[in-house]
Chain A
Amino acid sequence: NAGVTQTPKFQVLKTGQSMTLQCAQDMNHEYMSWYRQDPGMGLRLIHYSVGAGITDQGEVPNGYNVSRSTTEDFPLRLLSAAPSQTSVYFCASRTRGLTGELFFGEGSRLTVL
């Protein structure tokens, strides 16, 4: 059972470079989201989507873009990487309802030099 799959697991970028973190889920969940995790900060919501074609901003959206063309995929784009974006990024999908469960990928560790 694949669940939520993130690629790549590790990436090193130089300041100013762009890249896309990929996220795919095979559970047919309408809701998907991206978080970043920094020491002592828990997980902070970057962007989320409630279905194909619908995205919205979370707590820390600046410097990141998302799109949702299919139910399965929710890529996160860094347009011009900055050292402040060095973090571990988690993609999650969620079952329906306010008490639904978040299912996370294994994370993508990004270092920006």
Chain B
Amino acid sequence: TQLLEQSPQFLSIQEGENLTVYCNSSSVFSSLQWYRQEPGEGPVLLVTVVTGGEVKKLKRLTFQFGDARKDSSLHITAAQPGDTGLYLCAGPYNFNKFYFGSGTKLNVKP
């Protein structure tokens, strides 16, 4: 059982559609991060959320941290083919261990 569970595991949508990816845990996190990974490359940080209930926007991407700091969501509005990739949530556990979720593989078809 992973500390951070992501859903869905796979998502294939048409360009212009909206989608939401979820990251859930039974543990409380001081912060959560979202990374995006493209094939053949390492993950790259998109955002960090710190405060329970916090909402952050990055162009068409909206990130939310749950009130209890056990979950987070990523919402993409009007998805584009350039959004295709693997989306990973991550958080610190026991101060220095940074754990990742299992990832959501997004494919946006033109």
Which A positions have Cβ atoms within 8 angstroms of B?
4, 31, 33, 35, 40-45, 48, 50, 56, 58-59, 90, 92, 94, 98-99, 101-107
Determine the main DSSP class of A at the interface with B: strand
B31:A98 contact, CB within 8 angstroms: yes
B6:A42 contact, CB within 8 angstroms: yes
Q: Would you list which residues of chain B between 36 and 80 have a CB under 8 Å from chain A?
A: 40-45, 48, 50
Instruction: Provide the bound-state CA to CA distance between A31 and B96, in Å.
Output: 9
Q: Which residues of A contact B103 (CB under 8 A)?
A: 40, 42
Annotate B69-110 by CB proximity to A: 1 below 8 A, 0 otherwise: 000000000000000000010101001111111110000000
Instruction: Provide the bound-state CA to CA distance between A4 and B41, in Å.
Output: 12
Q: Which residue of B lies closest to A50 (CB)?
A: B96
Pair count A-B, CB < 8 A: 66
Contact count band on B:
20 to 34
Smallest CB-CB A-B distances: 10 pairs: A104-B42, A43-B100, A42-B102, A42-B100, A42-B103, A101-B45, A99-B48, A99-B31, A98-B92, A98-B30
Instruction: Provide the bound-state CA to CA distance between A58 and B103, in Å.
Output: 19
Instruction: Provide the bound-state CA to CA distance between A31 and B90, in Å.
Output: 16
B9:A40 contact, CB within 8 angstroms: yes
Q: Which residues of B contact A31 (CB under 8 A)?
A: 96
Q: Smallest distance from the beta carbon of A31 to chain B beta carbons, Å?
A: 7
A35:B41 contact, CB within 8 angstroms: no
Q: Which residues of A contact B31 (CB under 8 A)?
A: 98-99
The 17 sampled A-B contact pairs (Cβ below 8 Å) are A33-B98, A35-B100, A40-B9, A42-B6, A42-B88, A42-B101, A43-B88, A48-B96, A48-B98, A98-B30, A99-B31, A102-B33, A102-B35, A102-B45, A104-B42, A107-B40, A107-B42
Q: Which residues of B contact A104 (CB under 8 A)?
A: 41-44
